[in-house]
């Protein structure tokens, strides 16, 4: 199964980073049809988000389950095997080589795109150094991207600033998902390696993740449509 997007709307991933399923349900109702994929992260997962994710999937919505799996090989393999039964479209794995190989082993023939998380877009070179890595954030992203391709992953999560180099590095088949995307004039919030939607697409991203500029807007649907327009103009 190809996980490449077909339309500009397909390319927009909206995180449902809110405290309750009720709030998430409202956001979906206000943006349905203007968003390609809904992302369910840790905040909502611990507030009933997993059954809600399955509910949305049964309704035909594409769901990005952002769990960032990292554990011993058998645990990761079995977790992926169960997630593959939930109807999700994407799931995240920390991009450690052994972890990614275990995730791929648990995939079997399921229509689930495994995404290797390279370096969080809230981190910069100093953060990477403080975590014990010798090189820069970009160097670590590149090495993990190569490992993701070798492991047989479906794609990677990276900063839009690295998308161009990574596209050349990993080829056309791997899906590139880029958080840290902010429309022109929007606050960067806690993101450090950011780019606009249009620039991210031009750099080689397949999907962009844009959250607070949409969920925090007075008119969420209009905000989502504006981001899609920026994407379309860049295609």
> The domain spanning residue 167 has which CATH number?
3.20.20.70
Whether 74 is in a domain gets the answer yes
Whether 101 is in a domain gets the answer yes
DSSP code string of 34-89: S-SEEEE-HHHIIIIIHHHHHHHHHTT-EEEEEEEE-S-HHHHHHHHHHHTTTT-S
Measured on CA atoms in the order 126, 130, 136, 141, is the torsion positive or negative? negative
Q: State the pTM of this model.
A: 0.91
Catalytic residue among 68, 125, 189, 222: 68
Is position 71 annotated as part of the catalytic site? yes
Domain count, the chain: 1
Is position 66 annotated as part of the catalytic site? yes
Whether 162 is in a domain gets the answer yes
Instruction: Indicate the annotated binding residues.
Output: 17, 39, 66-75, 121, 182, 191, 211-212
Average pLDDT, the chain: 91
Per-residue pLDDT tens for 98-107? 999 999 999 9
What are the residue ranges in the chain where pLDDT is below 70?
Answer: 1, 184-194
Whether 200 is in a domain gets the answer yes
Whether 103 is in a domain gets the answer yes
pLDDT in the model for residue 187: 55
pLDDT in the model for residue 185: 58
Domain that holds residue 156: 9-234
Instruction: Indicate the annotated binding residues for substrate.
Output: 17, 39, 66-75, 121, 182, 191, 211-212
Distance separating alpha carbons of residues 93 and 34, to the nearest angstrom? 27
pLDDT in the model for residue 191: 46
Per-residue pLDDT tens for 171-197? 888 999 998 887 765 554 544 546 889
pLDDT in the model for residue 134: 83
Catalytic residue among 4, 10, 62, 71: 71
pLDDT in the model for residue 184: 64
Whether 71 is in a domain gets the answer yes
Catalytic residue among 66, 199, 206, 226: 66
DSSP code string of 77-95: HHHHHHHTTTT-SEEEEE-
């Amino acid at each position: 199964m190809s996980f490449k997007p077909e339309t500009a709307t397909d390319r927009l991933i909206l995180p449902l980073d809110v405290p309750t399923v009720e709030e998430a349900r409202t956001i979906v109702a206000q943006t349905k049809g203007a968003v390609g994929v809904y992302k369910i992260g840790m905040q909502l997962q611990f507030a009933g988000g997993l059954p809600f994710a399955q509910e949305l999937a049964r309704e035909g919505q594409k769901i990005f389950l952002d769990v960032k799996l990292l554990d011993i090989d058998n645990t990761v393999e079995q977790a992926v095997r169960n997630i593959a039964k939930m109807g999700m479209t994407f799931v995240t794995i920390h991009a450690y080589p052994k972890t990614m190989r275990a995730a791929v082993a648990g995939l079997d023939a399921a229509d689930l795109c495994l995404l290797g998380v390279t370096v969080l877009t809230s981190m910069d070179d100093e953060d990477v150094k403080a975590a014990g890595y010798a090189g820069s954030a970009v160097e670590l992203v590149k090495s993990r991207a190569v490992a993701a391709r070798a492991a047989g992953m479906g794609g990677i999560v990276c900063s839009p600033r690295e998308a161009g180099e990574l596209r050349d590095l990993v080829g056309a088949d791997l899906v590139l998902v880029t958080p840290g995307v902010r429309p022109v004039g929007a606050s960067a919030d806690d993101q450090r390696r950011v780019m606009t939607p249009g620039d991210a697409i031009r750099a080689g991203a397949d999907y962009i993740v844009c959250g607070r500029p949409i969920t925090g807007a007075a008119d969420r649907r209009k905000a989502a449509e504006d981001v899609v327009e920026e994407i379309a103009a860049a295609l």
